[in-house]
Amino acid sequence: MPERDRISTWQFFWVIVSIIITLSTFRLPHLILGAAKQDYWLAILIAIVMDISVGACLFLLGRRHPGRTLFEYAQELLGGLFGRLAGVAYVLLFLQMAVLLARSLSESLFLVMPETPGSVFVITIVFLAGLAVNKGLEVIGRLAELIGVILFFLASGVPLLASSRADFGNLLPVLQTSPAVIVKAGLLMTSFFGICVVMGVLMAYQTQPEMAFKVKAAAVVMSGFLMLASYGVALAIFGGQAFSAIIHVSFGVARLISIRGFVERVEAMVMALWVAGGFLAIAVLYYCAALGVAQILKRNSYQPVIPPLGVAMVALSLWQFKNRVTVDRFVLQVYLWYALAIEAGLTGILLVVSLLKASGKQTA
C-alpha cells in the first residue's frame, strides 16, 4: 500500500468543504447558475441531494472494502483490465478538474494582474501542490484543516459585507425557468459537486471510516448552502439579468463592498480565496490522481508519479485552452457530462457489481 498516513474525520470534513467553496468562488459554476437566474437555488439543491447520494454509494463501497481505495476495489470488482480502465477514468477526472482549477486560478489572477504571465501562477501553484503531495496525505489533511477554516470565513464574509447593497426582491420571481433548464443545471452542478468522489480515495485512510458518510453529507450541506447564500446575495445585488451577464460573481460582489465609504476594494479577500482554495483543491486532486496511477500500476510508492503528473497539469492548463471562451465550451459540452458519467454512473456501477457479487457469494 503506497500510503501509510491517516486523515482525521475533521480534516476530511474540511477537504470536502474547501473543494466546494473553492469551486464556487471561481467563475465556472456561474456558467450554469447564470442561466437558471432566479431558480439557481434549485440547481444547487439538486446537486446537494445528488452528491449526497453519490456519497452514500461511495460509503457503502468503502465499508465493503475497508482500507481500500476506489482504484483498488475497482480492480477487485471489475477484474484487472476493466478495473484499471475504471481507475484511469477517475484519474483523468481528477487531473482534468485540477487543470481546470489551475486554469481558473491563473485566469482569475490575470484579471487583476494583467501584466504577470499566467504561467507564473500555474507553475508556482502546481509546484507547491506537488511538494504537499510528495509529503503525503497527512500534510494535505493538516493543510485542509488550516486553510478550510480561513476559506469558510472569507467565503461567508464577502456576501455578508456586501449584503447591505442587496435588494432581496430580486430573488423573485421564482419557478419561471423551464423545468428542463433547471434539471440540466442541476445535473451539471452535480458534476461540479461530484468532484467530491475524492471521498472514495480518502475514506480508505480515514481514522474513523464509519463516520465518512455523515461527515461528507454535513460538509456538502454546509458548503452547498454557503454557495446558495452567496449566489443569492449576488443575485439580489445584480438582479436577474445582470446576474447572468456577469462573469466573476464573487469578484463582482466584492468590488461593490463599501463600508461607510471607508473599507472598500476588498477584492483581495476573494483573491486570497482563489489562491488558498485553489492550492488546496489542486493538491487534493493531484494527490488522488498520483495515488491512483500508482495503484493502477501496482507500485509501492506514488512519489515517482508526481513530477510527470505535475508537468502534464502545467502543460494542459497552459495549452489545452486558447482562451476563456474555449474553456467555457469544453466545460459545458464535454467535461461536465464526462464528470457526471464517471462520478454518478461509474460509481453506481461499482456499487451494483459489489452488491451482486455479495449476493452471489451468499447464494453459492
Partner 1 sequence: MTMQVRPRRSLAHLGAVVVLSGFLITLAGCWNALELDERALVVGVGLDHSRLPGQVDLSLQILKPAAAVSGGRGRGGGGGSEEKAVWVVTASGRTPFEAVRNASRLTGRKLFWGHIEAIIVHETLAREGITRLLDPFIRDHESRQLAWLLIAKGIRAKEILTAGAEMERIPAEAIRDQLKSYGATSTIMPMDIHRFMTDLAAPGKSPVAPGIELASAGEKAEPKGGSEGESKLVKVTGTAVFRGDRLVGWLDEKESRGLLWVLNQVKSGSLVVRCPADERERVGLEIMRAKSKLGLQIQRGRPVVTVEVTEVGNIADQTGRTNLTNVAYFRSLERRKAAVIRDEVQAALAKAQKRLRSDIFGFGLAMSRKFPTEWRNMELNWHDQFFPDLQVRVEVHATLRDTGTTAGPALIR
Instruction: Compute the least distance from the CB of residue 175 to partner 1, in Å.
Output: 8
Instruction: Compute the least distance from the CB of residue 258 to partner 1, in Å.
Output: 6
Instruction: Compute the least distance from the CB of residue 233 to partner 1, in Å.
Output: 14
Instruction: Compute the least distance from the CB of residue 85 to partner 1, in Å.
Output: 36
Instruction: Compute the least distance from the CB of residue 312 to partner 1, in Å.
Output: 26
263 is an interface residue for partner 1 by CB under 8 A? no
310 is an interface residue for partner 1 by CB under 8 A? no
Binding-site member from 79, 264, 304, 334 for partner 1 (CB under 8 A): 264
181 is an interface residue for partner 1 by CB under 8 A? no
DSSP structure string for 209-275: GGGHHHHHHHHHHHHHHHHHHHHHHHHHHHHHHHHHH-S-HHHHHHHT-EETTTEE-THHHHHHHHH
176 is an interface residue for partner 1 by CB under 8 A? yes
231 is an interface residue for partner 1 by CB under 8 A? no
Binding-site member from 245, 300, 322, 362 for partner 1 (CB under 8 A): 245
Task: Tell me which stretch binds partner 1 (CB under 8 A): 172-180, 208-216, 315-323, 338-346.
Answer: 172-180
- Name the DSSP letter for residue 174: P
CB nearer to partner 1: pick between 241 and 300: 241
Of residues 267-286, which lie at the interface with partner 1 (CB under 8 A)?
267
179 is an interface residue for partner 1 by CB under 8 A? no
For residue 309, what are the CA distances in angstroms to 140, 261, 276? 17, 47, 21
Binding-site member from 81, 172, 180, 325 for partner 1 (CB under 8 A): 172
Instruction: Compute the least distance from the CB of residue 135 to partner 1, in Å.
Output: 11
CB 292 within 8 A of CB 97: no
Within the chain, residue ranges assigned H as helices are 9-25, 28-36, 40-64, 70-78, 80-112, 118-135, 137-162, 179-193, 199-202, 212-245, 249-255, 267-296, 306-319, 324-330, 336-340, 347-363
Q: Which residues lie below 8 Å from residue 12, measured CB to CB, with a gap of 6+?
A: 141, 199, 202, 203, 206, 212, 215, 216, 219
CB nearer to partner 1: pick between 120 and 183: 120
Binding-site member from 131, 153, 208, 265 for partner 1 (CB under 8 A): 265
255 is an interface residue for partner 1 by CB under 8 A? yes
- Name the DSSP letter for residue 205: G
Torsional class of 265: left (φ above 0), alpha (ψ -120 to 50), beta (otherwise): left
**For binding to partner 1 (CB under 8 A), which residues are involved?**
111-116, 120, 138, 169, 172-173, 176, 237-242, 245, 251, 255-256, 258, 261, 264-265, 267
